[in-house]
Structure 1
Amino acid sequence: MWFVMREDHPEARALLPESIPWYLIQGIALIQLYIEERFVEPPMRNKIPYSLLYHQTMSTLASLGEMSAGELASRVLTLSIFHNVSQDDYRILLRHLLSIDHINKTENGGLIVGIAGERVVNNHKFFAVFVENLEYTVHAGSEVLGTIVKPPPIGDKIAIAGRVWVVEEVDHHRHEVYCNLVKGNIPAYFGDVPGDIHTRILEKMYDILSEDKTYPYLMNQAIYRLKEARHTFDNADIVHHPLVNIGGKMWVLFPWLGSYAFLAIERFLKIKCRTRLHLKGLNSLRPYYIMFTMDADEETFFTILEEEAQKDFDPLDLLYEKEVPVFEKYDQYLPDELVRKGFAYGVLDIEGMKKRIHNWANHQPL
């Protein structure tokens, strides 16, 4: 089995985090974790699968015909995958499906598949619950810039037509993205999601960069790039300082967190800490590092993060205003409040984020 990690050669003036071959280090981490611990990323059990809930509701009605709301709930909600879904959530879903004609109520008070729902259920693609790759047309004013797959949330950035753009609006029904030009050359979202990466893998990447161990399966160029990366890691003293100043007011944070905890801390910085730290220009290469400028020093940064993390806040606070993060196949048929709730409570790893912040504040190792 061969693993090929392709990368563009870093420019001589590349900033610190851009000079580390992240995909190579991640590949080594995956191999070593399996060799040493037989570690395989476990499934995420805390998700609230509202998209799948829609699918099971519609397929149950389509196969069994008219059912009362209670009968439907007892058949669907008892499936183990829906252990995090409340009766109230299910009532919200059913009311919404009635309002958009995906289900109808009969004269006897029973529920059946509605006219709009039949168009979904009778499509041959209905039974697959994974999302097919759909292209979204990207617009800037009246200009069409091109197409991307899997558009990012509003406020994130995309690179297209040789420039970087910030996403202002995403229309999932028409498959269109509307954006504005952003100055500068910055890490951007390319519509290419690398998958769900577990925190244990990022922590192993930290170990690989901080140790001197050799790996017999690496070819010469990979050995050379690993040696360069370790030299960079050591020179910047990242092993003791997850927050590194890279000139003036510019800093880079290495959280060593998996995809969902990284996403949580990224939003936490933007929404909860931006004002107190005077954060600006926050950009990320998920889930490896976050770059930004701020009017604070290292000690103040971690103190403020710990203070904000200890406050009692709702996970929904980490969603942007009017954001509806549609990712799963049937999210488009769900009420906005369930899409937002599913993302906030089932995707963002806030506990993992808080644990890491607490360790930083108390100068504890990973």
Structure 2
Amino acid sequence: MKVVIVPSGFKECLEAEEVANAMNKGVQRYSPTVHTVVIPMVDGGEGFVKTIIKIKKGKLVHIEATGPVGAKVSTYFGVFEEENKRRTAVIEMAAIAGLKMVPHHLRNPLHTTTYGVGELIKAALDLRVDHILFGCGDSGTSDGGAGMAQALGVKFLNRNKEVINVVGGGGLHEIAFIDTTNIDKRLSRVKINVACNWQNQLCGSTGVAHVFGPQKGATDREVEVLANGLAHYARMIEQTTGLNISTLPGSGASGGLGAGLIAFAGAKLFPRYEIIMKYIQIEEHLKGADLVLTAEGCLDGQTPNGKIPAEVARMAKKLGIPVIAITGTIGKDAQVNYQNGIDAFMSIMQKPITMEKAIEDAAHLISDCAESAVRHIQVGYQMAKRKYGKDTV
């Protein structure tokens, strides 16, 4: 039996590689004769840098930069060289402004900043890279990339044409003018490709404030303040650059960082799997598989909108391979995943347990759940053998 294990990370808990290893442990505990292929999957969020750097045999660069709540934190990005000697930096916003880095009592996207993202970009430019591969995902911010822009030299001015310090999405409404005169000139010489959720747009009823603001700690009233601020910010960007980024695909990625990367860094946005699949050859590994196990922290109605389990399931379905998803929690409208390639899903929480305990024991619970999934498959094999004389695993 060949089982391909392709999970995402569990946000604020385990990175994709840790989840994959835990799943593999459970499968092997059932039977070490099962042939497993382990592919930790990244979508631009947590683990993006380390996964790409491991594949490309590059190195991590450790620096200090401004975290999402304004304090200096230790962070990193990656660098590797390609065959044509082109030097590429790999940056993930989650490593400097991710939700995991925002203490629970400070979670409010009106106040969290992407300033450190700009500092990471500048650090990469200092190494004279030719290309920046940027991962958008798992953000704890929603400032439209305004913090990043300021770190790169952009100045925001109020109605009196005074320079203001925009910290968080709550300050976007104060912007009356944008001055890009002093933006880092090296940006024009570097190609920046961004892997992001193509479904996320900056403004509108399905804009980033309404969809993700509550997850980042915003109340209903704060969501409206944030939505209005981002809409105003988009108008100011169009007034300054001529770019209408309000509804562009991916513009809402990472709290609108996608929009800021387009407007101020000259970046080009791509559906995240269009970029990631260049580095992770998942379809080759799926050939000949009997079962695919995937995973994410919460499986719900949003999963089919570009999240890893759904993307993996779509690829598996092209080859007729059954898919089981392992999840931390089963959220609202999770059943829609049955129409999007996932044949079954299972929660790792098989008995009453606090969220804190589930996070603490996540690796063990994931292993148990993976073992249980394979045992359920074995039941099917045994039924088939009794009825049709098929061999078991």
TM-score by length of 1: 0.21
TM-score (norm 2): 0.20
Greater share of strand residues, 1 or 2? 2
Whose Rg is larger? 1
